[in-house]
């Protein structure tokens, strides 16, 4: 699920169960999660109080009362579920946080590519992240300056979390469509009007993303180009195309994205 809006929603979902609570135990339920958070780290986390929950890009930081941090990333299929008392663990639960209030939060992740890692207070996580796209400070001038540092095409550049923090493969493609920009345009060579349109498109796409899934009430996907190869563009009728950029699928409309 996880691009910025979904990560933000997941963090809101578990906040009541975790904020100001003491962690009684962190229980890995998959070898990769046990390896990423070894017994020594789990021991240090046990007994600590969670004093703040923060999102930065697609990362989540659970700040503990001794200055240490649990750093969380959903990767492709991670998600949080707050568990009502006595509810059995959902399928694909990879890690469980148990609190002193007997609340439980499950890290659910079918592909098990997500990560939960411990960072002591003297070595906090160093996240190489660009600006938050929904912040006031994310302006055309800021994006232009960031894009000037890369030689890549615009759509892969939008996936670079150092340029802007939180866009993933879907919303990067959708933003290019909304801005009527071909995804293979050289990022550093875009004219100011295009950058301005792109900033507006990014903010619009992220703001209108529902918290759960990007679908209407009938369960239809709301994407304009993503996963629509061969279907008519909703703006100009041209068939949506799929190309590979930096190993990822990019969907775009060759008719109206220039």
Partner DNA sequence: AGGAGCCTGCGC
Partner DNA sequence: GCGCAGGCTCCT
Site membership for DNA, residue 131 (CB under 7 A) = no
Nearer to DNA, 53 or 71 (CB): 71
Active-site residue among 24, 42, 248, 254? 248
Site membership for DNA, residue 28 (CB under 7 A) = no
203 in active site: no
Neighbours of 132 (CB within 10 A): 17
Shortest Cβ 45–DNA spacing (Å): 21
155 in active site: no
Measure the CA–CA gap between 116 and 155, rounded to whole angstroms: 28
Shortest Cβ 101–DNA spacing (Å): 29
By CB under 7 A, which span of 13-21, 43-51, 72-80, 133-141 interacts with DNA? 72-80
Shortest Cβ 114–DNA spacing (Å): 9
Site membership for DNA, residue 73 (CB under 7 A) = yes
Measure the CA–CA gap between 238 and 50, rounded to whole angstroms: 51
Site for DNA, residues 167 to 226, rule: CB under 7 A: 168-170, 213-214
Neighbours of 26 (CB within 10 A): 20
Site membership for DNA, residue 149 (CB under 7 A) = no
Measure the CA–CA gap between 80 and 54, rounded to whole angstroms: 14
Q: Which of 156, 175, 177, 190 binds DNA (CB under 7 A)?
A: 156
Q: Is 89 helix (H, G, I), strand (E, B) or coil?
A: coil
Site membership for DNA, residue 1 (CB under 7 A) = yes
Measure the CA–CA gap between 70 and 197, rounded to whole angstroms: 37
- The DSSP element (H or E) to which 25 belongs, if any, is strand 23-28
Q: Which of 3, 21, 103, 178 binds DNA (CB under 7 A)?
A: 3
Token reading at 222: 């709301």
Q: What is the 8-class DSSP label of residue 102?
A: S
210 in active site: no
For residue 194, which of 130, 241, 243, 147 has the smallest C-alpha distance? 147
For residue 53, which of 103, 2, 17, 82 has the smallest C-alpha distance? 17
Active-site residue among 6, 21, 55, 58? 58
Summarize as ranges the residues that interact with DNA (CB under 7 A). Answer: 1-3, 5-6, 30-32, 57-58, 73-76, 92, 110-113, 150-152, 156, 159, 161, 168-170, 213-214, 244-249
């Amino acid at each position: 699920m996880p691009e910025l809006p979904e990560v933000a929603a997941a963090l809101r979902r578990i906040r009541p169960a975790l904020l100001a609570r003491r962690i009684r135990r962190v229980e890995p339920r998959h070898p990769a999660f046990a390896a990423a958070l070894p017994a020594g780290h789990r021991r240090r986390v046990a007994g600590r109080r969670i004093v703040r929950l923060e999102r930065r890009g697609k990362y989540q930081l659970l700040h503990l009362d001794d200055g240490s941090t649990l750093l969380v990333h959903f990767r492709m299929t991670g998600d949080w579920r707050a568990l009502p008392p006595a509810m059995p663990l959902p399928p694909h639960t990879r890690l469980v946080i148990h609190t002193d209030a007997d609340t439980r939060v499950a890290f659910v992740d079918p592909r098990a590519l997500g990560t939960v890692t411990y960072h002591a207070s003297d070595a906090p996580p160093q996240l190489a992240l660009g600006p938050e796209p929904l912040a006031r400070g994310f302006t055309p001038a800021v994006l232009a300056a960031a894009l000037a540092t890369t030689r890549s095409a615009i759509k892969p550049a939008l996936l670079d979390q150092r340029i802007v923090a939180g866009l993933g493969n879907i919303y990067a493609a959708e933003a290019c469509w909304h801005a009527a920009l071909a995804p293979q345009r050289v990022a550093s060579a875009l004219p100011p009007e295009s950058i301005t349109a792109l900033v507006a498109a990014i903010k619009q796409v992220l703001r209108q993303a529902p918290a759960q899934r990007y679908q209407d009430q009938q369960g239809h996907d709301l994407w304009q180009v993503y996963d629509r190869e061969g279907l008519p563009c909703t703006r100009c009728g041209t068939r949506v195309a799929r190309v590979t950029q930096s190993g990822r699928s990019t969907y775009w409309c060759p008719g109206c994205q220039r």
